Structure 1
C-alpha cells in the first residue's frame, strides 16, 4: 500500500501537472490537464541508461538508443533532461557508488540529434556522470545507473536544469540488447527504474533487440522502440496510469531490422529460462577469461513459464511489458488493483507497433 510519503508525492505531482495546464489555458484547468494519447506535453522526464551518453561506437552499443528516446519523447512534447553514466555500465544492476566524487561530463551530441529538444524548457540538456577526482576523461569510470537517478533527484536536476521537485517520470534506455530472463537482475537499465520507484517516482525501462546475428544494434530497432514507447507512455498518461510507482515497467522491443514487424504488446513475466550465460575459461597465466553468450543446450536454458518474456519477444517477435517491483521480499502481499489496471491497458489499449 502507498505510504503517506508516497501519497504526498502523488498529490504534489498531480498538482504540478494541473497548475501547468491552468497556465496553458489562461487560469482554468481543462482537458489540457489530461493530454491525448499522442501528447506528452508538460511532462518532465529524467532520461538515463546503462550504456552511457557517449554514442561513439560503430556497433551503436554505447548510448545511441538514449538519443532516439530523447528525440521521440521531446517530439511528443515532453521536457527531457539526460543524466546518464559517463561510460558504459552494462550489467551493474542496482549497484551504487558509496564514496569518492561525482564529476559532470559533456560532449558534442551525435550528429543529427543536436536540435531534437531545442524547444523544450530545459533545452534537452545532456550530462554524463563519472566517478573521478578530475573532470571526466575518456577513461574515467562512469557512475552507475542507480547513481544517476539518486544524484538527479537529490539536487542534480535543480543544479543542471533548474527543476524544483521530482521529475514526473524516469525513463531508462533504450538499452542495447534485450533485458529479459536473468538479465533483468543484471541490468543497469532496469536498475535505474528500480532506483526511481524506490524514491516514489514512476519509471519505465526500454530495451531494444540486437540484429539477427547479435553483432550490432541497428538504429531501426532503437527508433521503433522510442516511437512506440512515446505513444505507450502517452497512453498510460491519458488513462491516468502513469502516476503509480508501486512497480516499474520493463519493456522489450523485438528485432525489426531485417524487415519483420513487431507484434502487439503482451503482458509477460520474467522468464525462468536463462538468457545471458556467463562463462569463465582458465588461461595459461592463471586468469579466467569472461565470456557472455546466449544460453543454449543447458538445462538452465529451459523455459517453463507460458508468459515468459524470453519466449514472447525473442521467439515470437512481440513487444513485452513486465511489471518490476523494488521489494524482493518473497510472498509479501501487494495491492493488485493498480497492477490489474495497467495490465488491462497493455492487453487492450496499448498502441500497435
Structure 2
C-alpha cells in the first residue's frame, strides 16, 4: 500500500441494490476509494459458478455518491473477474470485500455461497479478501451493529496482508450486543435437505428445496459456537482444497494397475 487511499473492490451475491452492500459501501468509503461490481439480480447459492456460453453485460450505475459502481449480468465470481480484467485492467485493488450477505455463511455454507466465492476469487487473484455475512435474511435487516467490526477487520487486513492463498470468512449473529471477535475454525455443520414435491398444471412434478441446518459439532472453537454465543466469527479460509493429511494414507495403498 502507498500513502494514498487504498482502492477497495466491493462485490456481493444479493444484487447491486441489496441493503447489505449499501451498508458495506458505507463502511468502505471511510477507508478508501470504492469500486463496486455486483450482480444485477440476486445470485445466492451460486457458489463458484462462472458464465460460459452467453455474453456478460457490465453497465455503469449511479446509486451512491462518490462511488464508481457497475451492475453485472453474471455471477459473483464473474463480477470479480470482470473487475480485475476490464475495470482495473490488471492493476489489482488493495482489498476485495464481499457482502454484507443476508444470511449466514458458516459451516458448509462456505462452499455454496456466492458471497464467499466472490471473496475466494479475489484471493485467487492475489487480492486480500474478506466475505461478510449477517444472520438476517430479511431485506429490512439492520447492519449498523456490524460496521465497527467490519472497519476494524478490513483495516487489519490492509495493514497486515493475508497469508498466502487465504481469505477471511466473517459472520455476525443477529444481535446488537456483540461480545467481540473470535478467530475460529469451520464447524462440522451441513444442511439436511428436503425436497417438497408438487405438481404443475400439466401434471408434471416439480420440487422446492428446503431443509434444516444441522450442527454436528460441540467444539467451542468453531464458528457455529461463536455465533450461538454472541461473537463475531472470523475463519481463515483457503482455496487449496487438497486434503494434505490424506496423502500419506493414500501413499500406503497398494495400487495394482
The TM-score bracket by the shorter chain reads: 0.7 to 0.9
Counting strand residues as a fraction of each chain, which structure ranks higher? Answer: 2
Report the TM-score when normalising by structure 2. Answer: 0.86
Cross-structure match for 1:302: 216
Indicate if the aligned counterparts of 2:94 and 2:158 stay in contact, CA closer than 8 A.
Answer: no
- Looking at structure 2, the residues matched to 325 and 89 of structure 1 have their Cα atoms a distance apart, in angstroms, of 22
Deviations 1:101-148 (A, max 9, x none): 111235552xxxx33xx2xxxxx1111111xxxxxxxxxxxx111111
Cross-structure match for 1:230: 151
Paired residues, number: 243
Cross-structure match for 1:153: 84
CA offset at residue 155 of structure 1?
Answer: 2.0
Structure 1 counterpart SS, 2:46: coil
Aligned pairs for 1:250-289 within 5 A: 250-256=169-175, 260-274=176-190, 276-284=191-199, 285-289=203-207
Aligned pairs for 1:121-200 within 5 A: 124-130=67-73, 143-158=74-89, 165-200=91-126
Structure 2 counterpart SS, 1:283: strand
- The 1:305/1:287 distance shift into structure 2, 3 A limit, reads farther
Cross-structure match for 2:253: none
- Looking at structure 1, the residues matched to 172 and 116 of structure 2 have their Cα atoms a distance apart, in angstroms, of 14
Kindly indicate whether residue 238 of structure 2 is the aligned counterpart of residue 325 of structure 1.
yes
CA offset at residue 85 of structure 1?
Answer: 1.0
Structure 1 counterpart SS, 2:115: helix
Structure 1 alignment gaps of length 5 or more: 1-16, 22-40, 55-62, 119-123, 131-142, 159-163, 334-353
Kindly indicate whether residue 52 of structure 2 is the aligned counterpart of residue 98 of structure 1.
yes
Deviations 1:217-256 (A, max 9, x none): 5442x23223320122113334xx2254420000001112
Indicate if the aligned counterparts of 1:201 and 1:245 stay in contact, CA closer than 8 A.
Answer: no
1:75 aligns with one of 20, 30, 35: 30
Structure 2 counterpart SS, 1:189: helix
- Looking at structure 2, the residues matched to 104 and 167 of structure 1 have their Cα atoms a distance apart, in angstroms, of 18
Cross-structure match for 1:85: 39
- Looking at structure 1, the residues matched to 152 and 112 of structure 2 have their Cα atoms a distance apart, in angstroms, of 27
- The 1:105/1:72 distance shift into structure 2, 3 A limit, reads same
CA offset at residue 49 of structure 1?
Answer: 0.5
Cross-structure match for 2:128: 202
Deviations 1:167-215 (A, max 9, x none): 11110110001101121110011101111111111100000111xxx6x
- The 1:108/1:199 distance shift into structure 2, 3 A limit, reads closer
Structure 2 alignment gaps of length 5 or more: 247-257
CA offset at residue 303 of structure 1?
Answer: 2.1
Indicate if the aligned counterparts of 1:272 and 1:304 stay in contact, CA closer than 8 A.
Answer: no
Cross-structure match for 2:254: none
- The 1:174/1:95 distance shift into structure 2, 3 A limit, reads same
- Looking at structure 1, the residues matched to 69 and 157 of structure 2 have their Cα atoms a distance apart, in angstroms, of 26
Cross-structure match for 1:3: none
- Aligned residues: CA RMSD: 2.2
- The 1:268/1:218 distance shift into structure 2, 3 A limit, reads farther
- Following TM superposition, the consecutive aligned residue runs of length 4 or more in structure 1 with deviations greater than 4 angstroms are none
- The 1:218/1:266 distance shift into structure 2, 3 A limit, reads farther
Report the TM-score when normalising by structure 1. Answer: 0.64
- The 1:69/1:279 distance shift into structure 2, 3 A limit, reads same
- Looking at structure 2, the residues matched to 317 and 106 of structure 1 have their Cα atoms a distance apart, in angstroms, of 39
